[in-house]
């Protein structure tokens, strides 16, 4: 890969790590019942604990902290001796997840991350939304079986405004995290996606990992069944 100088780039967010809360829920339940504290419970209390763990599996949590908080609030009243084992079980479950390398999403904006300016008027002009809104509208990401981390432009934009400084930023991100992921997905507007793909193919060489650029002509936030289209794999 080429070495980039300090030419102009655009501001990006901090790396957002996918905590894989849905997978963590499953592993946490399995880890807890393998702990010594669970084995020492009476059969009645074990049954109550299993009922709680089953109910946890049907809930949705935004992050690991909320999962742990709810798990403690439900388990400790019925089995106080499990409190010290919840953190141990969580650590064991997290270690299992950490062994899997995932994909890094670079969100630049585009129609795929757009929604009507007026939520009450679907025909109002489309505006590009932050990555968090697109992620919240895509719960199926948690079903992929591997982590999906993300970095986004602080100001996601219509691809008509993408230029050299944005290409340098995308390239710099891929350089920085190249060894940490199995591949990269750049979410991009369709108007200039081919130009970005062409520019990056010259800026990034000697690649042995896929770098996928994809976008949509149908807003992804309000239309789950959109037309996400593959532009190019570098």
CATH of the domain at 182: 3.40.50.1170
Residue 222, pLDDT score: 65
CB-side neighbour CA atoms (13 Å) of 95: 7
Where does a domain end: 67, 98, 129? 98
**Segment 76-85, tens digit of pLDDT:** 999 998 988 8
Where does a domain end: 73, 98, 123? 98
Share of the chain above pLDDT 70, in %: 91
- Among 2, 3, 51, 111, the active-site one is 111
Where does a domain end: 49, 64, 98? 98
Is the model's pLDDT at 221 over the cut of 80? no
Residue 87, pLDDT score: 85
Is the model's pLDDT at 143 over the cut of 90? no
pLDDT band (50, 70, 90) for residue 71? very high
Q: Are 153 and 109 in contact (CB under 8 A)?
A: yes
| Residue 146 structure tokens | 């591997």
H or E segment and range at residue 8 = none
Residue 168, pLDDT score: 95
Is the model's pLDDT at 219 over the cut of 80? no
Same domain, yes or no, for 152 and 176? yes
Same domain, yes or no, for 127 and 212? yes
Residue 231, pLDDT score: 46
Same domain, yes or no, for 127 and 204? yes
Residue 6, pLDDT score: 47
pLDDT band (50, 70, 90) for residue 228? low
Is the model's pLDDT at 217 over the cut of 60? yes
Same domain, yes or no, for 78 and 133? no
Strand partners, 153: 12
Residue 119, pLDDT score: 79
Tell me how far apart the alpha carbons of residues 32 and 147 are, in angstroms, rounded to a whole number: 23
Residue 97, pLDDT score: 81
Residue 117, pLDDT score: 82
How many domains in the chain? 2
CB-side neighbour CA atoms (13 Å) of 175: 15
Residue whose tokens read 């100001």: 155
Residue 4, pLDDT score: 43
214 given a catalytic annotation: no
Same domain, yes or no, for 71 and 165? no
For residue 198, give its domain range. 103-233
Same domain, yes or no, for 74 and 119? no
Mean residue pLDDT of the chain comes to: 86
């Amino acid at each position: 890969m080429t070495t980039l100088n300090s030419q102009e780039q655009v501001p990006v967010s901090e790396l957002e790590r996918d905590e894989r809360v849905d997978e963590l829920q499953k592993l946490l339940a399995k880890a807890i019942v393998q702990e010594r504290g669970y084995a020492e419970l009476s059969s009645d209390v074990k049954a109550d604990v299993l009922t709680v763990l089953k109910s946890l599996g049907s809930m949705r949590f935004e992050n690991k902290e909320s999962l742990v908080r709810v798990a403690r609030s439900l388990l400790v009243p019925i089995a106080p001796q499990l409190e010290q084992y919840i953190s141990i079980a969580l650590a064991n479950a997290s270690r299992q997840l950490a062994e899997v390398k995932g994909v890094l999403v670079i969100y630049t904006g585009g129609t795929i991350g757009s929604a009507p300016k007026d939520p009450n008027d679907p025909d109002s002009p489309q505006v590009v939304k932050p990555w968090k809104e697109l992620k919240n509208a895509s719960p199926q990401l948690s079903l992929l079986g591997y982590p999906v981390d993300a970095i986004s432009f602080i100001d996601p934009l219509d691809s008509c405004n993408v230029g050299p400084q944005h290409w340098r930023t995308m390239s710099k991100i891929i350089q920085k995290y190249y060894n940490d992921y199995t591949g990269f997905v750049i979410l991009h507007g369709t108007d200039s996606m081919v130009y970005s793909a062409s520019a990056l193919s010259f800026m990034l060489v000697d690649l042995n990992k896929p770098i996928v650029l994809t976008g949509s002509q149908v807003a992804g936030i309000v239309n789950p069944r959109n037309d996400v289209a593959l532009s190019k794999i570098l």
